[in-house]
Amino acid sequence: MKNRVVCYFSASQSEQPIVYQLIKNYDLVVNILKANINPQKEGYLVVELEGSKKNYEDGIGYLKNLGIELEPLSETVVWEEDICIQCGACASFCPTQALSIERESMMVSFDNCKCVVCGMCLDCCPTRAIKLYFEVPEAV
């Protein structure tokens, strides 16, 4: 099982070896995607957690028992048309045709409604006109 979550920390929680515990006690692969800790030591951590379903659920339970607020990560792909050189490489990798080439004009277009955020287009763009943005909700 693999999932991306946003963990919101208080100052006391940020002092604990939480990532270490997730790896050691729950045998989870922890990939830190983004982190932000303010001077008061409060903040958030965006992580991808991977492991067996039981270990994943136990690890999530551990985080909740510590009082860490968790939310699923929301992400989106953004195509920056002004950076695009219209090479079409992205369209050949896009499984949903969210990125496509209009045959008459040979111009690349992007339909965000079709995008499933698979990430196939990210590495093939020579100008990096396609970016993945993580939408991290503000902590309540």
Query: Where exactly are the structural domains of the chain?
Result: 2-72, 79-130
Please check whether the domain covering 79-130 is classified as CATH 3.90.340.10: no
Between 115 and 67, whose confidence is greater?
Answer: 67
Residue 122 backbone dihedrals phi, psi, to 5 degrees: -60, -45
Could you check whether 2-72 and 79-130 share the same CATH topology? yes
Nearest to 80 by CA among 99, 53, 105, 56: 99
What was the pLDDT predicted at 76? 82
Tens digits of per-residue pLDDT, 2-47? 888 989 989 988 888 999 999 999 999 999 988 888 899 899 888 8
Tell the burial category of 53 from Cβ atoms under 10 Å away from its Cβ (0-12, 13-18, 19+).
Answer: exposed
DSSP annotation of 53 reads: H
CATH assignment, 2-72: 3.30.70.260
Residue 116 backbone dihedrals phi, psi, to 5 degrees: -110, 10
